[in-house]
Amino acid sequence: MGSIEIFAVPAHLRVASNRMARIIKSSESDALFIYLPQHLNDLIKSLAEGCPYEYLLDQVRESSLVPEPLGRWEYEMEPIFLAIRGISNRKT
């Protein structure tokens, strides 16, 4: 039986995002669940499969998928998104 790890990190803190990114990079998990708006699922999946981080930002910017100021959201989430990028390819 597989194990389950749950991490709760404070939202809106860059240091927490950096810590979570390190955990993601070193994880051997088969699945990753991140509390993000559901309408971002396809973009996050594409990012995990290796699409460029800039593509995610462009799509979010063009479609107004994030209700808060994009610069702040990007600053807070960037470490996590960069850790996720290509993770599907590394796990196979």
> What pLDDT, in 10s, does the model give residues 10-45?
767 889 899 999 998 888 877 888 888 888 899 999
Q: Name the pTM for this structure.
A: 0.82
Domain parsing of the chain, residue ranges: 35-90
Q: Please give the average per-residue pLDDT across 48-63, as a whole number.
A: 92
Which residue reads 């290509």 in tokens?
86
Q: How confident is the model at residue 3 (pLDDT cuts 50, 70, 90)?
A: low
Q: Please give the average per-residue pLDDT across 40-60, as a whole number.
A: 93
| CB neighbour burial string for 46-72, b if at least 16 within 10 angstroms, e if fewer | bbbeeeeeeebbeebeeeebbeeeeee
